[in-house]
Structure 1
Amino acid sequence: MEHPHTPLRRGWTTGSCATAAAKAAWAALCGQGFPDPVTITLPGGQDVAFALAAHGHGPDSAWAEVVKDAGDDPDVTHGAHVRVVVRRAPAGRGVVFRAGPGVGTVTLPGLPIPPGEPAINPVPRRMIRAALTGADGHEPDVEVTISIAGGEEMARHTLNGRLGIVGGLSILGTTGIVVPFSCAAWIDSIHRGVDVARALGLPHVAGCTGDVSERATRALYDLPEEAMLEMGDFAGGLLKYLRRHPVPRVTIGGGVAKMTKLAQGFLDLHSRRGQADMDQLADLAQGIGAPDALVDSIAQAHSVAAAFALAAEAGYSLGPAVARGAWQVACDVLAGTPCVLDVLLFDRAGTLVARHGPYPVAG
């Protein structure tokens, strides 16, 4: 994506920032002073330099702090102060990770890190270990504690609570780079939500497009929070992962506009990926017996919501046919799995407009 005049600027993950801070603190603990800037190697092999925001010594430790720059991405952690304290550990311990203030702890199974461990993902752990390992290939015996000022409050705006990560943020990153407006982080969160649900043995999960449909779906089925997958616009990201990692029952819930797009074959429901085809919606109205004048009005409607309103005023409901079409598109993606699937349509107030299913997905 590009700004009208300049490309969007990339940034750095919390994992990259923590790696840079850890490397600087370890150098100081070894008597080499604090390198500033400090250079680290990303998983892709690129060398990048980070300025230190602050640094210091403790009685038996050294610490350094890096301010996260997320580039032009609207990342909740942009500007976060990532501090790493490094202290020597008993011989044979290797690198041990600790969660300081603002960094969460894993409490549920299914994530790449087991319960009880600090929420520092595998790639950042490897990056930090590599940064602390000497030229002789020897990994030092050290305790690495990562903190993020204000991280517990920032985490309230993430999916961490739903994934069972409590007390703060996760230290994330697979490439070390933040790509502005990337879908990857959101889709990864969806996948981790499925993993947690499967590890807990939940028989029923629900992916919803927004807060209204999520609240309504959860209330309808009395589902636990861990069963709710914040699908957003990424229906394909959820359904394709469920095809490889199935669960017994799946509900897809959303507003009439996004479910209409799903019924028309869109798996990315964001408006920038295309608008719902009003002519197709008019054909659907014709298929349920709507008169020609109403069909023409629906074809000319400025939005899906307006088309639904026109149909309702004339005594016709587009909801059941849209729900049926959305179910079929989702079913095609899940084909061959043992899932039972249903689709729910809600209006803006969270009132159920239509439902199709639950029916088994045909192989």
Structure 2
Amino acid sequence: MSLTSIRRSSHKGELRQGFTTGACATAAAFGATLSLLNRPQQQVYIDLPIGEQALFTLHLNNAGKASVIKDAGDDPDCTHGAEIGATILFTNKPGIEFAAGKGVATVTKPGLELAVGEPAINPVPRKMIKQHLLPLLPLGKGALVTIWITNGEQLAKQTIGKRLGLIGGLSILGTRGTVHPYSTSAYAASVRQGVEVARAQGINHVVLTTGSRTEKAAMEQLSHLSDSAFIQAGDFTGVGLRAATRFGVIKLTLATMIGKLCKIAGGTTMTHVTGRAINFRLMSELLSECGGDAQLCQQVKTANTGRHLFDLIPAPIQSTFFTRLCHQAAQHCYHYAHEKVVIEVRLMNFDGTLLTQASFGEQ
């Protein structure tokens, strides 16, 4: 089996980063297109969204068809070792079209970043594939890109995709191209270390972010804070809260998006998708308290995802409802931190803008 090339950690005990399914699909599509142009390669470099390049070894490489074997690094991901492939057909319609091959899901419920009926190839992977393929296309030609995953339907049973309406296999995901290892002990340790390092520098106000987008937005909004104050906690909000208590942080800001906010508002501090789901019944009750009518509350009660809930809330009560969620989440976090840390929760929109915020525990 040919494994994807990936940088190894230079320090013993550190975890290796891996690649997303989106990066693997891009490499496969790039390799398949080159072979269709009679320029077959054994390995291909692709550009990642984070501004780095990555080298992939092609596992399968026929005319118009190529695959790679996903290396998730030390991330305990069910797709580690999976064969992710692409089949390319040139068309007479300019541009790139996408199709779900065997093992790749189709979207059947609203609330995701893709419309119902679309192949579950998320926006950033689509952008990556287009970026690499468009310059290669013959003049006046387009391409149909079919992404497939060997045994994808079986692997999907280890995820919550079916509950989200992703039917037929796995999603092609990723916004960075790389994945940070989610080893519970090591990742949790890195969050605790981040808080400890901040306090060692005399920082009393730390900011936990749930990902790259929320971190970037929080840094812009709280530009008066040192970079060391910002800690990517990912799904380990609870770890960051307890560390803040232990090391004497005075104030903690949590920057999050709607999905994780809903979970935290429901009392969950481990927000990974494989963990506890959003309590939509609770979301419906909170919405009712904010003026939502019975029909809307019923829609929220049966919502599919946090984003689906977000899209359901009408403009006149968005501010009230989202602020209530932030306040509820801040209250849970305050109690989880043994009532020793002032908590501020900020809800970021998908473009990084601040929607609302609420605090709990301030004197």
TM norm structure 1: 0.54
Give a deviation string over 1:115-148, Cα, whole Å, max 9, x none.
1111111111111111112279978511110111
Give a deviation string over 1:77-131, Cα, whole Å, max 9, x none.
1111101111112x22411100011111122333222111111111111111111
Give a deviation string over 1:301-346, Cα, whole Å, max 9, x none.
xxxxxxxxxxxxxxxxxxxxxxxx9xx969x768x9999xxxxxxx
1:226 aligned counterpart, secondary structure: coil
Change beyond 3 A, Cα 1:333–1:143: closer
- CA distance, structure 1, for counterparts of residue 164 and residue 56 of structure 2: 31
Change beyond 3 A, Cα 1:163–1:3: farther
How far off its partner does 1:29 sit? 0.7
- CA distance, structure 1, for counterparts of residue 320 and residue 142 of structure 2: 38
Is the contact made by 1:77 and 1:154 (CA closer than 8 Å) also made in structure 2? yes
The corresponding residue for 2:16 is: 9
Give a deviation string over 1:216-268, Cα, whole Å, max 9, x none.
968x9898553676xxxxxxxxxxxx9879469869999xxxx99734364xx
The corresponding residue for 2:200 is: none
2:160 aligned counterpart, secondary structure: coil
Mapping of residues 280-319 of structure 1, within 5 Å: none
Is the contact made by 1:208 and 1:214 (CA closer than 8 Å) also made in structure 2? no
Report the AA paired with residue 168 of structure 1. G
Change beyond 3 A, Cα 1:263–1:43: closer
Equivalent of 2:29 in 17, 22, 31: 22
Is the contact made by 1:15 and 1:124 (CA closer than 8 Å) also made in structure 2? yes
The yes-or-no answer on 1:50 pairing with 2:62 is no
The corresponding residue for 1:64 is: 66
Mapping of residues 234-249 of structure 1, within 5 Å: 246=321
Change beyond 3 A, Cα 1:111–1:228: closer
The corresponding residue for 1:125 is: 126
- CA distance, structure 2, for counterparts of residue 21 and residue 79 of structure 1: 15
Report the AA paired with residue 226 of structure 1. A
The yes-or-no answer on 1:226 pairing with 2:306 is no
Structure 2: tracts of 5 or more residues without a match: 1-8, 188-209, 213-233, 236-255, 286-297, 307-316, 348-353, 358-363
Mapping of residues 32-111 of structure 1, within 5 Å: 32=39, 34-57=40-63, 62-89=64-91, 91-111=92-112
The corresponding residue for 2:207 is: none
- CA distance, structure 2, for counterparts of residue 213 and residue 30 of structure 1: 46
The corresponding residue for 2:230 is: none
Change beyond 3 A, Cα 1:169–1:136: closer
Report the AA paired with residue 89 of structure 2. R
2:303 aligned counterpart, secondary structure: helix
TM norm structure 2: 0.54
- CA distance, structure 1, for counterparts of residue 124 and residue 37 of structure 2: 25
Report the AA paired with residue 45 of structure 2. T
- CA distance, structure 1, for counterparts of residue 150 and residue 277 of structure 2: 33
- CA distance, structure 1, for counterparts of residue 327 and residue 155 of structure 2: 28
Change beyond 3 A, Cα 1:329–1:49: closer
Is the contact made by 1:55 and 1:64 (CA closer than 8 Å) also made in structure 2? yes
Report the AA paired with residue 63 of structure 1. K
How far off its partner does 1:3 sit? 11
2:135 aligned counterpart, secondary structure: coil
How far off its partner does 1:71 sit? 0.5
Is the contact made by 2:280 and 2:301 (CA closer than 8 Å) also made in structure 1? no
Report the AA paired with residue 10 of structure 1. Q
Is the contact made by 2:67 and 2:86 (CA closer than 8 Å) also made in structure 1? yes
Q: Which has the larger radius of gyration?
A: 1
Aligned residues: 250
Equivalent of 1:264 in 326, 335, 343: 335
Change beyond 3 A, Cα 1:147–1:225: farther
Greater CA deviation, 244-253 or 153-162?
A: 244-253
How far off its partner does 1:161 sit? 2.9
How far off its partner does 1:54 sit? 1.6
1:132 aligned counterpart, secondary structure: helix
How far off its partner does 1:207 sit? 3.7
Structure 1 segments, 4+ long, off by >6 Å, are 135-139, 210-218, 220-223, 242-245, 251-254, 336-339
Q: Percent identity?
A: 36
The corresponding residue for 2:151 is: 150
Is the contact made by 2:27 and 2:45 (CA closer than 8 Å) also made in structure 1? yes
Change beyond 3 A, Cα 1:248–1:137: farther
- CA distance, structure 2, for counterparts of residue 85 and residue 21 of structure 1: 8
Change beyond 3 A, Cα 1:123–1:192: farther
Report the AA paired with residue 262 of structure 1. C
- CA distance, structure 2, for counterparts of residue 208 and residue 42 of structure 1: 35
Is the contact made by 2:21 and 2:173 (CA closer than 8 Å) also made in structure 1? yes
How far off its partner does 1:154 sit? 2.3
How far off its partner does 1:53 sit? 1.3
How far off its partner does 1:206 sit? 7.3
